[in-house]
Amino acid sequence: MKIEKFVSNMLQSNVYLVEKENKILIVDCGCETEVIKKAVGNRKVVGVLLTHGHYDHSKYCNEYAKAFDVSIYANRKIADTLKDKTAIYSQDGSIIENLSHFKFIEHDGMIKIDCFEIECFACGGHCKCCECFLIEGNLFAGDVLFERCIGRTDLVDSNKKEMVDSLCKLENLNFDRVFSGHGEGTTRDEQLKNISVYKRFLTR
């Protein structure tokens, strides 16, 4: 499996192209559609995964879905975030009302998209609709886990207790690497240290 990272112009959020058998899964939608279409080339996109609804990750989700004729997979709570001018954190007050391309993830578990088997985990804390995706040892954590820190818990729909619960959930998963919504990737060992620090910080 191959993973390519693209950095958007909006808060430097990451978009990932995950390739297997010449098929592509797109994780998050902050880069302009033409940039991603060019990167995909003649490979077939089979789906879009959204880690959460904040605008720097979701802005182009419907454009991606239309361009590649695929569905968007996201936590069921994302509908509220996308339609809320405050919770979505768009700079111009934009919201996303068209949810016709979405397939909502109702609970933790496995989904299969073409040749990809994806474990899905609801991980509230940064916002209520955060979803982490584990694909062949690679954890796409959105804004839950970063290199040497975690997602903010002082935003609309943030919740410190939910973040602690999410950190406890993630530290018990069997993953090799973490691919975050911003910044660089990290290893499991690095993240276990990171999680331990922030669990203590949030519960002190």
* Per-residue pLDDT tens over the stretch 150-161: 999 999 999 999
d(CA 81, CA 75): 11
Q: What are the DSSP E strand ranges found in 11-143?
A: 14-20, 23-27, 44-49, 72-75, 102-105, 109-113, 116-122, 131-135, 138-142
What's the pLDDT at 20? 98
What's the pLDDT at 4? 98
Closest CA to 124 of 51, 186, 73, 71: 51
Q: Number of structural domains, the chain?
A: 1
What's the pLDDT at 203? 92
Chunked in runs of 10, what are the mean pLDDT values of the chain (204 residues)? 96 98 98 98 98 98 98 98 97 95 98 98 98 98 97 96 98 97 97 96 91
* Per-residue pLDDT tens over the stretch 80-120: 999 999 999 999 999 999 999 999 999 999 999 999 999 99
CATH of the domain at 63: 3.60.15.10
What's the pLDDT at 146? 98
Using an 8 Å Cβ cutoff, are 122 and 133 in contact? no
Please report, for residues 95, 154, 166, the alpha-carbon distance to residue 87 in angstroms, rounded to integers and kept in the order given.
9, 12, 20
Owning domain of residue 164: 2-203
Residues near 104 by beta carbon (within 8 Å), at least 6 away in sequence: 74, 75, 76, 78, 79
What's the pLDDT at 204? 86
Q: Is the pTM above the cut of 0.75?
A: yes
